[in-house]
């Protein structure tokens, strides 16, 4: 009887201990727009992939809670007087999730990997400021010629082609995140699987169930693990913003990074300070396929662009969470001044519509002989409502619009793989505050992001000249000339400048609004 009572007491204690452990586990349920195409940091290109990767990995530099660049795997760095050589001192307590030390050689390996042509990195050209990067990426030079060098385990050196004022900020991008060399060598492309992956960030991947969730657990080897308050973060693809809002209301999500705009008044009225709208360094635009028969005429492109009521889109469709855009580069960006605006930007909307109608009539288009245009967009009520509104704006011009939507992964893969289209919705969020980060997308050899297939040697020459120009004022003038060509040729229709739209539960702390809308989970606390 006594033995039985002891066993019962032991069982009860074990149950209690298990319950306490489960109750003590802090899980951050995080809405994240869409499923990633991949978790290979060298093959990604979207912000929703970046949110996950920043939790799993740490680059030479990282982001603070308010979106500023801070030391990451490197504890400090120095820059040579000519601005060409950056020397990084590695953090001595940085480790991978298997306990291996993070060393300079890991970054040498990683940067060489992203530049190898066989890696197929769509975003590799963002790192072209590194010496020989373009030639390595195009196969003209071997990876060993890239301007990166592990001096020893604790010292890493990067040499640039020319002084690049935004280079440290650039290293915060996901292209600067390292891979674990031994794991990549052993598993190849399967290194990203939960059972294989080794990471050096605050979290390590535990599970990836497509169209359901991605689970990452705290990395106890992370150098700042003692200050990470989250035991587990679960990312949910929330393409259906309405469903995400209902999940937030039900307490199933702590945060979500977008909202259904058709419910914006309800959200503002009922969510109060839980709804955060803040300035965001990005442009919402329509890519225009210059190889499409319908879109090949620059005058037609100008007519269609000038007929769009951007204020209506920003205020009515997007509920005042966006700002009408008449340039591709957002205002307020560093190293630039005022962007180059469309020549007709200050015209009255009715006059613009009349002029647009006149242009299309001269081209032979009318309601009886309509210009047929297909608008593609990725699944979202917000994007659908935008496309429907623009179709209505074009209808009086004699434009017959059809709409085609696909999920986000399929949509962007179609654009990157040069699939057929007329007009396609896209958006660009700045990786660093510099106009080059927007204008480089339209360089003719930028296969990853030049969705329009824009090919203008004059534009390319200006971008090359800007890259060689050390004087920031002269560089800004050259980039302004490039954007002026952009606004003349219209490879993209700039529509709106972004505002970030986050809903954040009262129980969440450590989520601070910032221009890049960067919110590493390592800073989040849940108090429920």
User: Can you give the residue ranges of every domain in the chain?
Assistant: 28-231+505-526, 281-499
* Residue 30 in tokens: 């995080």
Q: DSSP per residue over 317-368, as a string?
A: ISTTSSEE-SSSSPTT-TTT-S----TTTTS-HHHHHHHHHHHHHHTT--SS
By CB neighbour count within 10 A (0-12 exposed, 13-18 middle, 19+ buried), where does 437 fall?
A: buried
0.85 cut: is pTM over it?
no
Alpha helices by DSSP H, 138-263: 167-170, 181-187, 241-249
Thinking of the domain 28-231+505-526, which architecture would CATH place it in?
Alpha-Beta Complex (3.90)
What CATH number matches the domain at 281-499, 3.20.20.140, 3.30.70.20, 3.40.50.12280, 3.10.105.10? 3.10.105.10
pLDDT of residue 211: 92
331 vs 334: CA distance, rounded Å: 9
Sign of the C-alpha dihedral computed for residues 467, 470, 476 and 480 taken in this order:
negative
Helices (H) and strands (E) in the chain, counts: 16, 19
pLDDT averaged per 10 residues, the chain (length 528): 40 40 81 93 92 98 95 98 96 98 98 97 92 97 98 98 91 96 98 98 97 97 98 96 96 96 91 92 96 94 98 94 95 90 95 96 91 95 95 95 94 92 95 92 92 97 91 94 97 96 97 93 95
Beta strands 275-288; 371-378: pairing state? unpaired
Q: How far apart are the first and last CA of the chain?
A: 42
Residue 499 has phi, psi (to 5 degrees) of -125, 140
* Residue 39 in tokens: 């978790």
The b/e string for 391-408 (b: 16+ C-beta within 10 A; e otherwise) is bebbeebbbebeeebebb
290 vs 423: CA distance, rounded Å: 10
243 vs 253: CA distance, rounded Å: 11
Q: Which residues is 501 bridged to in the sheet?
A: 277
pLDDT of residue 196: 98
Total count of residues recorded for the chain: 528
pLDDT of residue 132: 98
> How many other C-beta atoms lie within 10 A of the C-beta of residue 360?
23
pLDDT of residue 7: 39
pLDDT of residue 18: 41
């Amino acid at each position: 009887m006594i033995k039985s009572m002891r066993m019962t007491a032991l069982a009860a204690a074990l149950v209690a201990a298990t319950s306490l452990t489960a109750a003590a586990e802090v899980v951050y349920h995080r809405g994240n727009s869409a499923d990633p195409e991949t978790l290979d940091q060298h093959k990604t290109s979207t912000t929703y992939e970046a949110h996950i990767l920043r939790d799993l990995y740490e680059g030479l530099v990282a982001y603070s809670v308010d979106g500023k660049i801070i030391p990451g795997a490197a504890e400090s760095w120095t820059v040579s007087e000519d601005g060409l050589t950056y020397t990084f001192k590695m953090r001595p307590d940085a480790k991978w999730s298997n306990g291996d030390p993070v060393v300079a050689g890991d970054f040498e390996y990683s940067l060489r990997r992203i530049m190898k042509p066989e890696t197929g990195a769509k975003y590799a050209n963002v790192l072209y400021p590194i010496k020989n990067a373009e030639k390595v990426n195009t196969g003209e030079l071997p990876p060993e010629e890239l301007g990166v060098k592990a001096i020893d385990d604790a010292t890493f050196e990067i040499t640039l082609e020319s002084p690049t004022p935004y280079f440290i900020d650039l290293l915060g991008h996901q292209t600067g995140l390292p891979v674990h060399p031994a794991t990549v060598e052993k598993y190849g492309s399967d290194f990203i699987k939960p059972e294989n992956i080794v990471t050096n960030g605050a979290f390590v991947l535990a599970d990836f169930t497509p169209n359901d969730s991605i689970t990452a657990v705290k990395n106890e080897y992370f150098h700042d693990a003692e200050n990470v308050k989250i035991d587990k973060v679960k990312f949910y693809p929330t393409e259906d913003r309405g469903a995400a809002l209902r999940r937030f209301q039900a307490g199933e999500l702590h945060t979500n990074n977008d909202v259904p705009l058709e419910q914006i008044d309800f959200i503002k009225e009922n969510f109060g300070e839980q709804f955060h709208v803040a300035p965001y360094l990005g442009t919402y635009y329509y890519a225009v396929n210059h190889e499409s028969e319908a879109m090949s005429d620059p005058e037609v492109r100008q007519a269609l662009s000038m007929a769009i009521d951007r204020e209506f889109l920003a205020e009515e469709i997007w509920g005042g969470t966006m700002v009408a855009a008449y340039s591709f580069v957002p205002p307020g960006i560093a190293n630039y001044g005022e962007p180059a605006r469309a020549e007709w930007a200050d015209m009255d909307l009715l006059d613009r519509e009349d002029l647009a109608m006149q242009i299309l009539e001269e081209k032979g288009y009318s309601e009886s002989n309509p210009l047929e245009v297909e608008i593609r967009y990725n699944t979202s009520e917000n994007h659908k409502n935008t496309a429907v509104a623009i179709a209505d704006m074009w209808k009086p011009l004699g434009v017959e619009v059809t709409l085609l939507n696909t999920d986000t992964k399929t949509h962007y893969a179609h654009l990157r793989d040069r699939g057929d289209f007329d007009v396609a919705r896209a958006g660009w969020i700045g990786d660093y505050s510099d106009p080059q980060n927007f204008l480089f997308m339209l360089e003719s050899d930028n296969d990853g992001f030049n969705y329009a297939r824009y090919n203008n040697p004059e534009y390319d020459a200006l971008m090359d000249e800007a890259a060689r120009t050390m004087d920031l004022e002269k560089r800004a003038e050259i980039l302004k000339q490039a954007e002026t060509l952009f606004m003349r040729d219209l490879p993209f229709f700039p529509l709106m400048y972004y505002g970030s739209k986050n809903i954040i539960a009262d129980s969440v702390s450590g989520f601070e609004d910032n221009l890049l809308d960067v919110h590493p989970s390592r800073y989040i606390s849940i108090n429920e």
